[in-house]
């Protein structure tokens, strides 16, 4: 009888596993089913029905952690617009008969959902059918066929704007002739405001007739370059004779002492879940990160003029990083040993589902770095080997490459590389000596200003270090005057455990920050934990607190926030970011609710911040600027993993040789 039960249990677990992980992204079939159900509902009577977000309705954490003993239902969360209203719709995809709409609620708060790509394309075409715009272009002597237009969010400035309460977007234009780098040739002074629900122009301004920067020197395509050329790098390739040292099973990835779940979200892009590190002494995987992803990307420009003041973008909430994910190029974006994963996202009308090929890649990094070495009588060296998950989002002129790097030492390093091309402003100036007053930017080419701006990339990290209940500990270094002996001074460490959320917002300084599990200790009695280590990009916002963009991104005044876990709090600037007011963001939650966070299920929010002062080397292409941070084990292991851990597979470089 017992044997029959065990066979039955094994069969059940096998069937549950075959059905997929509860955190797997919605498949193309599930996306289609969710949208078909809504299109079959009364909402479809509206000719304006559009889908702004379709994704997994994430199961509750206890249900996920109980898998595969039991499987939570598959559900979709949909944000749709119909008849000028925003609908939040929950769809059960596991019901018999193909699915069921569980709820449909109209959102009545501040802000609007992410823009769809389709409506941005439609808005960009409107100026070409608008006589005042045609006249402005003709007066500048530009052929209309040479002009290209794109869209920009309008921001929020106290609700006194002429379009307040309407869902609008700004359209500005560029000259695309003579170069692929059309962002380098703005038609400065012309601004078009489009009502997206009515899809019509509601405001038009032609303020100033500035010279269009020349195309010469703006081309970045390799095929268009002319001598003299720079150095040509020799080709190199990583070779793993025994194969890869990691495995991909559906959305589960295992390698370099780690196992984790990798999924994709239309707003966040890559999502890491259940990242657990192998403890060789105990023979088990221990959970570190329950779920992590990009939460928001705030990019404010520092030009208060009429054509630029509104350029204070929230790229994740307004434009959706997932939808803007770019296919990764083999051998250049990712090395030869990479495994690529596609992603499916829903179109604005729900069909067809759009596939993003090579949306993410996974590979082992052998960079020739040393994880540890020492020489006495003998020499011991451990090479640095890590498992990397990479994705790239292209938001207008900027490319953001995001790496999640899992090291054999137990560390998780999160890196951001900003690249692409500058968004520039046309000017009368052609030489730096002509600049007077505050130009709000640097002269980087003739008639071309690179406007000062910031990048604040905020990550949401639901850390469950060895279990769900954690604490946030701040260790401050304090100088002490020596009481006796030849030494005059030393420093010591004073630890403080944050009790409430107001204690959990921190500016990085000499303080060491840790997330610990007070319920788990090492053999010698230390609390197990992970410390936060910065790898650059620690800028905070310099905007005044009463400036409207800063009110919307008030959390950027500090790099670290710790809040009580709430599955609804995923987006640092709020769920509805377009024209948001700042009343529903990370700082507002923390300061108004001030929940207990000691020995609780907590979430760490970390912002990588960069102030960008453009220079000539940033034009016409911008070299990658990097920043990031690391979650490093601190008293997590009883024995240092480096003592016994070696890379699973050795890499060789076939084009290298030793020279004596």
Catalytic residues: 315, 398
Give CA–CA dist 52/32, Å, rounded. 14
How far, in Å, are 288, 493, 640 from residue 562 at the CA level? 16, 21, 28
Cβ atoms of residues 323 and 353 within 8 Å:
no
Please state the three-class secondary structure of 242-280 as a single string.
Answer: CCCCEEEECCEEEECCEEEEEEEECCCEEEEEEEEEEEC
Cβ atoms of residues 551 and 545 within 8 Å:
yes
**Beta-strand relationship, 100-107 and 147-152:** unpaired
Give CA–CA dist 80/87, Å, rounded. 5
What b-and-e string marks burial along 398-413, b requiring 16 or more CB atoms within 10 Å of the CB?
bbbbbbbbbbbbbbbb
Cβ atoms of residues 430 and 436 within 8 Å:
no
Residues found in the chain: 660
Cβ atoms of residues 405 and 412 within 8 Å:
yes
Report the phi/psi class of residue 362: left, alpha or beta, with left for phi > 0 and alpha for psi in -120 to 50.
Answer: beta
Report the phi/psi class of residue 22: left, alpha or beta, with left for phi > 0 and alpha for psi in -120 to 50.
Answer: alpha
In 108-251 the beta strands, taken as DSSP E runs, fall at 147-152, 168-175, 190-195, 200-206, 246-249
Give CA–CA dist 426/382, Å, rounded. 53
Q: Quick one: tokens of 617?
A: 């080397």
Q: Quick one: tokens of 526?
A: 């230390």
């Amino acid at each position: 009888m017992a044997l029959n039960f065990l066979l039955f249990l094994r069969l059940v677990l096998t069937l549950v596993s075959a059905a997929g992980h509860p955190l797997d992204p919605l498949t193309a079939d599930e996306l289609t089913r969710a949208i078909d159900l809504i299109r079959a509902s009364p909402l479809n009577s509206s000719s304006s029905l559009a889908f702004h977000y379709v994704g997994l309705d994430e199961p509750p954490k206890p249900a996920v952690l109980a898998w595969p003993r039991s499987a939570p239902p598959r559900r979709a969360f949909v944000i749709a617009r119909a008849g000028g209203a925003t609908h939040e719709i929950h769809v059960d995809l596991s019901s018999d008969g193909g699915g069921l709409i569980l709820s449909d609620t109209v959102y009545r708060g501040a802000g609007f959902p992410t823009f769809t790509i389709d409506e941005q394309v439609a808005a960009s075409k409107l100026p070409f059918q608008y006589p005042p715009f045609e006249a402005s272009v003709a007066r500048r002597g530009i052929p209309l066929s040479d002009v290209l237009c794109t869209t920009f969010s309008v921001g929020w400035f106290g609700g006194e704007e002429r379009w307040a309460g309407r869902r609008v977007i700004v359209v500005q234009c560029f000259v695309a002739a003579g170069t692929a780098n059309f962002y380098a040739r703005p038609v400065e002074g012309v601004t078009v405001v489009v009502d997206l629900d009515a899809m019509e122009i509601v405001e038009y301004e032609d303020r100033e007739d500035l010279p269009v920067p020349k195309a010469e020197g703006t081309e970045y395509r390799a095929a268009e370059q002319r001598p003299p050329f720079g150095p040509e790098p020799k080709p190199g390739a990583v070779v793993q004779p025994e194969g890869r040292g990691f495995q991909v099973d559906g959305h589960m990835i295992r390698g370099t002492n780690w196992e984790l779940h990798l999924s994709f979200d239309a707003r966040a892009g890559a999502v890491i879940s259940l990242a657990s590190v192998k403890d060789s002494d105990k023979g088990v995987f221990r959970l570190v990160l329950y779920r992590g992803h990009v939460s928001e990307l705030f990019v404010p420009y520092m030009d208060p003029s009429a054509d630029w003041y509104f350029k204070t973008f929230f790229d994740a909430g307004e434009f959706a990083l997932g939808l803007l994910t770019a296919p990764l190029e083999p051998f250049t974006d990712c090395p030869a040993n990479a495994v690529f994963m596609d992603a499916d996202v829903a179109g604005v009308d729900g069909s067809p589902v759009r596939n993003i090929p090579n949306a993410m890649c996974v590979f082992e990094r052998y960079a020739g770095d040393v994880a540890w070495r020492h020489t006495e009588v003998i020499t011991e060296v451990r090479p640095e080997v890590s498992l990397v998950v990479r994705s790239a989002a292209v938001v207008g002129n900027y490319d953001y490459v995001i790496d999640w790097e899992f090291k054999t030492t137990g560390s998780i390093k999160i890196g951001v590389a900003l690249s692409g091309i500058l968004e520039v402003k046309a000017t009368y100036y052609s030489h730096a000596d002509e600049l007077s007053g505050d130009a709000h930017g640097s002269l980087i080419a003739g008639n071309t200003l690179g406007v000062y701006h910031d990048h604040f990339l905020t990550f949401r990290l639901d850390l469950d270090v060895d279990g769900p209940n954690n604490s946030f500990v701040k260790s401050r270094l304090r100088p002490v005057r020596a009481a006796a002996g030849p030494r005059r001074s030393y420093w010591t460490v004073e630890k403080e455990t944050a009790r409430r959320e107001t204690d959990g917002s921190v500016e990085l300084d000499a303080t060491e920050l840790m997330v610990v599990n007070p319920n788990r200790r090492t053999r010698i009695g230390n609390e197990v934990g992970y410390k936060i280590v910065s790898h650059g990009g620690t800028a905070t916002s310099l905007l005044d607190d009463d400036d409207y963009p800063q009110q919307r991104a008030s959390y950027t005044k500090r790099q670290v926030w710790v809040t009580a876990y709430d599955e609804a709090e995923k987006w640092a600037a709020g769920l509805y970011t377009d024209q948001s007011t700042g009343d529903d963001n990370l700082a507002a939650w923390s300061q108004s609710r001030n929940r207990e966070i000691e020995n609780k299920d907590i979430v760490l929010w970390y912002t990588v911040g960069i102030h960008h002062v453009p220079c000539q080397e940033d034009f016409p292409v911008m070299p990658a600027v990097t920043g990031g941070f690391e979650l490093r084990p601190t008293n997590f292991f009883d024995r240092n993993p480096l003592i016994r851990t070696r890379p699973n597979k050795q890499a060789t470089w076939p084009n290298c040789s030793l020279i004596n």
